[in-house]
């Protein structure tokens, strides 16, 4: 279950990093236009112990029945707060803005349901006054009566302090919670985190043993091929409220390596990366697609395009022979600028959270000159259950089961996926699988069967070499009126390869016989793409032009046909929308997945209009 005998909890893994780093740099941050500054492992451990002691002084209990909320963007204090909780065996409950009022209130009042006796969350750690104010508003409305203390990283106003006093909530600066007490480290079986599954209100309970085991399995599969070094550095920008980023961090800590935080503004991420020069890059497919599209958009001449394609073929030939490098002739002549845009020092990248196009993955493996692995998993199995095998650089699959994880496929008769044909719903079992959903035995019984198998809701296919390919999604399946089953995410992943398309949402209705879609054109290429086809105008004007819409629709159909989409899987009409789906407008989850219910609600008028138009035509 554990790679190192002395690392059986998150706390243990950090302590190992503290020992082997000899007090070296641990957490990095930067101010605008400045280089990164570093907090040492020794300082992080010291601050965590003092903060954890302060939490006890405020009435928190040093055991795994004590929940502490963290409501903040990625920054060093987030990680220090998490370590503070684990130093005294407390449980972290990450909060994030897009959860919405109902979910937030439910989290902060966890103790109201009786089947599992827990302390209510009375104390929440926040980064800034605005977030703390949203929690205070819930208290003022009587929705979270147990909330009694807010701890802020940033300064806060006297007005806010007075407002909090009126509803009996104490407000403290992060640095005020400084008390020293003996540590109470957790055990492997102790609950570590209650983590929301992206896009849902499911509350997954994960133990320290789950986290240590999942980290161990990745270390094991890379054994003899890749080892994290103390001089490695990862960029932290994916939300810490989700397990993917937290597992990356604890893997770095276990080896005494460094984690540098972005400034909190996604528009400055590329500048942060160039400054930090990370060697380790956790990434989601949506960002890799953006990098791919940006590189391709610069290929304005046939000669440049031909040179790049030739260089990519040469590098892919090296990859097929097991050679991964960034110092070939083609790197120097063609790829150096692309590599420099990501800092120029990348050794390892890991993509997860959603499927990625094989063409994009192969292209980036060639151009970036570093190891790029793909993993598959979900919150309920801590993070990953399959992982690319070192040396297998063929794209189009998510690797083999991780050491310690068992994976099987089970029949989905209604979708004609049968395990005897090597296809079915992906199920996994092992020490990384969660203990269930907090206070929700019905949902737990749906996800975990009596033999301990986690039913993921994803559809997989075994390939001849023993790797797994994700081919469908069970949870978002719907039927058209003629009885055909539709997996919209599969179709969306195909359409994302269209040059003018940045984001796409495919919609269908059981009373309708065809699909329609919402498309956000890529603002970086859309105007030029339209001009090449004889359409002139601003980005907003082009989005309103019906002829431009038809040109985009034809392009999407061509890409869909090439990818093998059936006629009923092709959208028949589109609405071009000039504003990106984002976390801020509530249309993406913190892991950048579409909030399908919310998108459907926001665009209900346009979706209905497209269907009504087709009825009039017929």
Domains of the chain, each with CATH number or no CATH:
10-224+240-252 (3.40.50.12780), 277-473 (3.40.50.12780), 478-616 (3.30.300.30)
Pick the range with the lowest mean pLDDT from 83-97, 189-203, 446-460: 189-203
* Crossing angle (nearest 10°) for helices 243-254 and 10-20: 40
Q: Output phi, psi for 525, to 5 deg.
A: -125, -15
Pick the range with the lowest mean pLDDT from 256-270, 271-285, 292-306, 493-507: 292-306
Pick the range with the lowest mean pLDDT from 22-36, 304-318, 353-367: 353-367
pLDDT for res 370 = 93
pLDDT for res 534 = 94
User: Cα–Cα distance between 555 and 571 in angstroms, integer?
Assistant: 11
The mean predicted confidence, pLDDT, of the chain is 89
Of 513, 497, 499, the C-alpha closest to 571 is: 513
Whether the pLDDT of residue 564 is over 60: the answer is: yes
pLDDT for res 1 = 80
Cβ proximity of 494 and 443 under 8 Å: no
Whether the pLDDT of residue 549 is over 90: the answer is: yes
Name the pTM for this structure. 0.79
Express as a percent the part of the chain with pLDDT over 90.
66
Instruction: Provide mean pLDDT across the span 510-529.
Output: 91
CA angle 340, 346, 350 (to 5 degrees): 125
pLDDT for res 98 = 53
pLDDT for res 107 = 58
User: Cα–Cα distance between 449 and 427 in angstroms, integer?
Assistant: 10
Cα distances from 345 to residues 34, 226, 231, 335, 443, in angstroms, run 19, 15, 11, 13, 44
pLDDT for res 523 = 92
pLDDT for res 118 = 32
pLDDT for res 51 = 92
Express as a percent the part of the chain with pLDDT over 70.
94
Whether the pLDDT of residue 279 is over 90: the answer is: yes
Q: How confident is the model at residue 521 (pLDDT cuts 50, 70, 90)?
A: very high
pLDDT for res 117 = 26
Whether the pLDDT of residue 484 is over 70: the answer is: yes
Q: How confident is the model at residue 425 (pLDDT cuts 50, 70, 90)?
A: very high
pLDDT for res 105 = 59
Whether the pLDDT of residue 560 is over 80: the answer is: yes
Whether the pLDDT of residue 568 is over 60: the answer is: yes
| More confident: 549 or 360 | 549
Greatest mean pLDDT among 139-143, 258-262, 355-359, 580-584: 258-262
pLDDT for res 119 = 40
The residues, ordered by sequence, that sit 6+ positions from 370 with a Cβ below 8 Å of its Cβ are 281, 324, 326, 346, 347, 348, 349
pLDDT for res 114 = 23
Whether the pLDDT of residue 385 is over 70: the answer is: yes
User: With helix as H, strand as E and coil as C, how does 176-242 read?
Assistant: HCCCCCCCCCCCCCCEEEEEECCCCCCEEEEEHHHHHHHHHHHHHHCCCCCCCCCCCEEEECCCCCC
| More confident: 263 or 147 | 263
Of 173, 99, 167, the C-alpha closest to 138 is: 167
Buried b (16+ CB within 10 A) or exposed e, 195-231: bbbbbebbbbbbbbbbbbbbbbbbbebbeeebebebe
Q: How confident is the model at residue 413 (pLDDT cuts 50, 70, 90)?
A: confident
pLDDT for res 239 = 87
In this structure, what DSSP letter does residue 601 have? H
pLDDT for res 164 = 94
pLDDT for res 198 = 53
pLDDT for res 618 = 52
Half-sphere exposure (Cβ direction) of 178: Cα atoms closer than 13 Å:
6
User: Cα–Cα distance between 94 and 107 in angstroms, integer?
Assistant: 10
Residue that has been written with the tokens 């801020």 in this structure: 584
Summarised one tens digit per residue, pLDDT across range 90-142 is 999 888 765 555 555 555 555 432 222 234 588 899 999 998 998 888 888 88
H/E stretch holding 479 reads strand 478-479
Q: How many residues does the chain have?
A: 618
User: Cα–Cα distance between 275 and 73 in angstroms, integer?
Assistant: 20
Greatest mean pLDDT among 34-43, 116-125, 284-293, 496-505: 34-43
pLDDT for res 203 = 85
Whether the pLDDT of residue 575 is over 70: the answer is: yes
pLDDT for res 589 = 79
The residues, ordered by sequence, that sit 6+ positions from 484 with a Cβ below 8 Å of its Cβ are 568
pLDDT for res 139 = 86
Neighbour count for residue 381 (Cβ, 10 Å): 27
């Amino acid at each position: 279950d554990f790679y190192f005998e002395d690392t059986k909890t998150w706390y243990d893994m950090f302590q190992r990093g503290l020992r082997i780093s000899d007090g070296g740099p641990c957490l990095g941050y930067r101010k605008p236009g400045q280089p990164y500054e570093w907090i040492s492992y020794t300082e992080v451990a010291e601050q965590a112990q003092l903060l954890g002691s302060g939490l006890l002084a405020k009435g928190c209990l040093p055991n795994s029945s004590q929940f502490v909320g963290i409501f903040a963007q990625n920054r060093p204090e987030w990680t220090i707060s998490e370590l503070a909780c684990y130093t005294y065996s407390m449980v972290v409950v990450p909060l994030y803005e897009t959860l919405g009022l109902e979910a937030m209130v439910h989290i902060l009042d966890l103790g109201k349901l009786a089947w599992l006796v827990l302390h209510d969350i009375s104390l929440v750690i926040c980064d800034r006054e605005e977030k703390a104010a949203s929690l205070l508003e819930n208290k003022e409305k009587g929705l979270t009566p147990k909330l009694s203390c807010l701890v802020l990283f940033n300064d806060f106003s006297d007005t806010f302090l007075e407002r909090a006093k009126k509803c009996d909530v104490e407000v403290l600066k992060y640095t005020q919670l400084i008390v020293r007490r003996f540590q109470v480290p957790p055990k492997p079986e102790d609950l570590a985190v209650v983590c929301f599954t992206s896009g849902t209100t499911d509350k997954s309970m994960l133990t320290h043993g789950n986290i240590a085991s999942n980290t161990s399995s990745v270390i094991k599969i890379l054994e003899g091929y890749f080892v994290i070094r103390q001089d490695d550095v990862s960029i932290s920008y994916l939300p810490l409220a989700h397990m993917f980023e937290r597992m990356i961090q604890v893997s770095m800590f276990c080896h005494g390596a460094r984690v540098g935080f972005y400034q909190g503004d996604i528009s400055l991420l590329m500048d942060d990366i160039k400054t930090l020069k990370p060697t380790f890059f956790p990434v989601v497919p949506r960002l890799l697609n953006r990098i791919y599209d940006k590189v391709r958009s610069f290929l304005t001449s046939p000669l440049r395009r031909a040179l790049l394609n030739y260089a990519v073929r040469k590098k892919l030939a090296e990859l097929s022979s097991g050679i991964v490098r960034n110092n070939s002739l083609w790197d120097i002549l063609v790829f150096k600028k692309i590599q420099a845009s990501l800092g120029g020092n990348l050794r390892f990248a890991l993509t997860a959270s959603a499927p990625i196009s094989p063409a994009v993955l192969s292209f980036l493996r060639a151009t970036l000159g570093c190891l790029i692995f793909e993993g598959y998993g979900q919150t309920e199995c801590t993070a990953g259950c399959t992982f690319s095998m070192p040396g297998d650089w063929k794209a189009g699959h998510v690797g083999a089961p991780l050491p310690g994880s068992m994976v099987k496929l089970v029949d989905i008769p209604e979708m004609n996926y049968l395990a005897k044909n090597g296809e079915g719903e992906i199920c996994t079992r092992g020490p990384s699988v969660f203990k269930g959903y907090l206070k929700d035995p019905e949902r737990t019984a749906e996800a975990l069967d009596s033999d301990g198998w986690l039913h993921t809701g994803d559809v997989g296919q075994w390939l001849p070499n023993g790797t797994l390919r994700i081919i469908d999604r069970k949870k978002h399946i719907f039927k058209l009126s003629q009885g055909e089953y539709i997996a919209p995410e599969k179709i969306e992943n195909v359409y994302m390869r269209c040059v003018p398309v940045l984001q796409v949402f495919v919609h269908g209705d059981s009373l309708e016989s065809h699909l329609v879609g919402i498309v956000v054109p890529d603002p970086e290429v859309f105007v030029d793409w339209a001009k090449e086809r004889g359409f002139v105008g601003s980005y907003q004007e082009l989005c309103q032009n019906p002829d431009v819409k038809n040109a985009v629709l034809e392009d999407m159909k061509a890409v869909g046909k090439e990818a093998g989409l059936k006629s009923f899987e092709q959208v028949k009409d589109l609405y071009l929308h000039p504003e990106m789906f984002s976390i801020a407008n509530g249309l993406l989850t913190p892991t950048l997945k579409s909030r399908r219910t919310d998108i459907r609600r926001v665009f209900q008028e346009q979706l209905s209009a497209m269907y009504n138009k087709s009825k009039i035509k017929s």
